[in-house]
Structure 1
Amino acid sequence: MLVLVLSVVVLLVIGGCVCVFWAARGDAPRWARGVAGATLLGGELARSASRKSRSRQSGGDD
């Protein structure tokens, strides 16, 4: 069951990356631009969460 869930997550990530690439080329439909925006937003949220956890582990001095 866990392998199935992880496989779906990996497929969604790959699909999001394809949509980002397609939207960057400029000829993507509206739905692909929306998926690309959601993918980029998710990446920014993950990056900021990672920064916060690293700053907590280092004692807050960044």
Structure 2
Amino acid sequence: MIFLLLGVLALVIGGCVCVVWAERGGPPWVRGVAFVTRTAGELLSSAQKSRRRRSSWGSSSDD
């Protein structure tokens, strides 16, 4: 389990490095990795926002 978490951490850090490198004009493969990283981040962000909307819609604070 630790190795799995370390692998995910390495992928996240590598993706962030590629995003910064691509902003400075890196090679095409870096721009591809940066695109995938940004797209994954946006998908996760929108999924979390929709989950928050659903959970707040179903609950009431009329205590």
TM-score (norm 1): 0.90
Q: Which runs of 5+ in 2 are unaligned?
A: 59-63
Instruction: Give 1:33 deviation, angstroms.
Output: 0.3
- In the alignment, structure 1 segments of 5+ residues that lack a partner are none
Q: Write the mapping of 1:23-62 to structure 2, written as runs, cut at 5 A.
A: 23-26=22-25, 28-59=26-57
Q: Normalising by structure 2, report the TM-score.
A: 0.89
SS of 2:57's equivalent in the other structure is coil
Task: Report % sequence identity.
Answer: 53
What stretches of structure 1 move > 4 A for 4+ residues in a row? none
- Residues of 1 paired with 2:39 and 2:45: CA distance? 10
Q: How many residue pairs end up in the alignment? A: 58
1:16 is aligned with what amino acid? G
RMSD: 1.0
